[in-house]
Amino acid sequence: MVGYTGWRKSTRSSNTANSDCVECRQTWRKSSRSNNTSNADCVEARNTAAGFQVRDSKLGHDSPVFDLGAADFTSLLRATGRS
């Protein structure tokens, strides 16, 4: 598990004299089930190079982050009826 929002370095950054380039923050996407009702807080997900990460949107940055491979993330979506 990862407990922070990571930065991704540009593929143009390398071990050359021009190694410092742009970094982008990975953003979280909130479930479409999260809306302005009493059940507004659900899960958030983001993709990573290795697959996906999910967390509880109620807890935000304090939420544990679970790393899932693509097959596991697809299974999670199917189990919730969202695939």
Q: What's the predicted TM-score (pTM) here?
A: 0.60
Q: pLDDT tens digits, residue range 10-20?
A: 666 665 666 66
The tokens of 22 are what? 């742009």
pLDDT at 33 over 60: yes
55 forms beta bridges with 44
pLDDT of residue 49: 82
Top pLDDT among 60 and 23 is at 60
- Counting DSSP H helices and E strands in the chain, the numbers are 1, 6
